[in-house]
Structure 1
Amino acid sequence: MQTFTEKAVAIIQQIPAGHVMTYGQVASEAGNPRGARQVVRVLHSMSKKYDLPWHRIINAQGGISTPEKAEAKGDTQRQRLESEGIQFDDKGKIPLDIYRWHPPLEI
């Protein structure tokens, strides 16, 4: 049986280019609907090891969540998403009804 972390990694690895998922959505799909902060931890500690497409994970409002001190990382995330064809609205948000990815039932 897979752990939450293993499930989260598997889900994130499968997000196709040009699509996004929210932290909470990944957490829910991995078995813990209240585990959005755990997804942050997974991304922070395992993105390099598993070559995770970290830039495809956004907040529930369709925005990029980066601390003010990490503004350059937010710029990098936006550039990567735009290079995959994702368009931001005039408020800097990604329309989730267009770009949200839903994984297959079995991961």
Structure 2
Amino acid sequence: MPEPSTYDRIYAAARRIPRGRVSTYGWIAELAGVPGAARQVGYAMAALPAHTTVPWHRVINAQGRVSIRAGGDPRLEQRFLLEAEGVAFDANGRVSLERFGWRGRRRKEE
């Protein structure tokens, strides 16, 4: 069986984010085994098809903000989805990573 691709590992890490919690691009990179590759996580999220089951909306930037995406502006959609899960935004449009952040733990390699 071939090794999972980096994108597959990123998507697997994102699927682990619990409902009502958020993770950062950097945290997902660490969980996927590519520390320091936050930008690559962003590329992977942007490459997802429209009707994906990967909870892309739970991945935000390190400042606790929803990031601008190329090809449109689904920031409002992302915020709406997060708020529907109980994630709160402050007056500046930030999520408290202390309250809602999820870092997970890297799973041991088999």
> Which TM-score tier does this pair reach, normalised by the shorter chain?
0.7 to 0.9
1:29 Cα deviation after fit: 1.6
* Preserved contact between residue 47 and residue 54 of structure 1 (Cα < 8 Å): no
User: 1 or 2, which has the higher helix percentage?
Assistant: 1
Gaps of 5+ in 1: none
2:25 aligns to what?
23
Structure 1: 4+ residue segments shifted above 4 A? 47-50
TM-align CA RMSD: 2.1
1:91 aligns to what?
92
Partner AA of 1:77 in structure 2? Q
The whole-number CA distance in structure 2 between the counterparts of 1:68 and 1:23 is: 16
TM-score in terms of structure 1 length = 0.85
* Preserved contact between residue 29 and residue 41 of structure 2 (Cα < 8 Å): yes
The whole-number CA distance in structure 2 between the counterparts of 1:99 and 1:91 is: 16
> Which has the higher mean CA deviation after the structures are superposed, 9-18 or 40-49?
40-49
TM-score in terms of structure 2 length = 0.83
- Percent identity between the aligned chains? 35
